[in-house]
Amino acid sequence: MRNQRVLVTGGAGFIGSNLAAELAERNDVVALDDCYLGTPENLPENVEFVEASVLEEDLPTDVDAVFHLAALSSYAMHEEEPRRGVRVNVEGFVNVVEQARRDGCDTVVYASTSSIYGTRTEPSPEDADVTVNTGYEASKLARERYGEYFSNHYGMSACGLRFFSVYQGYDGAEAHKGEFANVIAQFADDVARGESPKLYGDGTQTRDFTHVSDVVRALELAADRELDGVYNVGTGDRHSFNTLVELLNEELGTDVAPEYVENPIPEEVYVHDTCADSSKLRKATGWEPEIGFEEGIERVCEPYR
């Protein structure tokens, strides 16, 4: 994107601030955040920051494109406050997109989730059966349906990206999030300080870990191409939590053993394995993941050396 005015909701959070900083090199960027999970300290000076909720009126939606990343983004958050989860993730999405539509914006790219695929060891395509086992997943699937509504009823480009385990180190935009930070950042910090990272179960669960820089490129390409519908964003590879801890020890020159703890998430709803089939996005945009897992771990560990 170039020479456009764009709005990033959740713009002071993890993915949002990375996206806002990248877009601001070539565009006029407004980052909107209520500071529940985000902090304006994540943002460079060339990004305009607006502290507001996605549920409010008179939002800064007079823009060329909206990147809607604001959400309550974990299972625990929705279990603790289910009604708030629905309001923020669903009503907040509709509120932002409707205000943008009225202001003449017809390009929206928004965050969905790979969790709706459940546990799968083979790459999941977008047309695979999806299921809802948590309030978080329900809210993201509802968001996709409302995206479809805005597309079909108003002719907007509404593109939902199903992210697979996005990560970055604490030197990025995650340090303030504590227990809600991505698992790689948490484990790296534990190992670097000589503390055992806590792994649920036996540590054999796997994730398609995708570096935030690759996710930022996917978001920008989706807006550039005015994509519609849903697309996966992931590498197509998966790695276990045990392997993750081994690689962190290798990179940091440490020998910290993990601590295996009981999984607080019920087994019937816990997603044990994820893996993306991103061929649809690759075909539509030419996107390819550029940061391999080993390089990503090196980047996460660099500040601790």
Residues acting as catalytic residues:
136
Q: Rounded to an integer, what distance in angstroms lies between the CA atom of residue 184 and that of residue 300?
A: 8
- Locate 77 and state its tokens: 């958050």
170, 127 Cβ separation under 8 angstroms: no
Which own/partner pairs from 49-57 qualify as long-range (CB within 8 Å, at least 24 positions apart)? 49/11, 49/12, 53/88, 53/92, 54/9, 54/88, 54/92, 54/93, 54/95, 54/96, 55/87, 55/88, 55/91, 55/92, 55/95, 56/95, 57/99
Report in angstroms the alpha-carbon separations of 80 from 76, 135, 199, 271. Answer: 6, 10, 22, 19
- Please compute, for residue 57, the number of CA atoms within 13 A of its CA located in the half-sphere on the CB side: 0
Type of residue found at 41: E
Distance of CA 15 to the CA centre of its chain: 6
Q: What is the dihedral of CA 186, 215, 121, 72, to 10 degrees?
A: 60
- Locate 141 and state its tokens: 């699937």
Q: Which of 141, 281, 132, 292 is nearest to 208 (CA)?
A: 292
Largest CA distance in the chain: 57
Q: Rounded to an integer, what distance in angstroms lies between the CA atom of residue 117 and that of residue 119?
A: 7
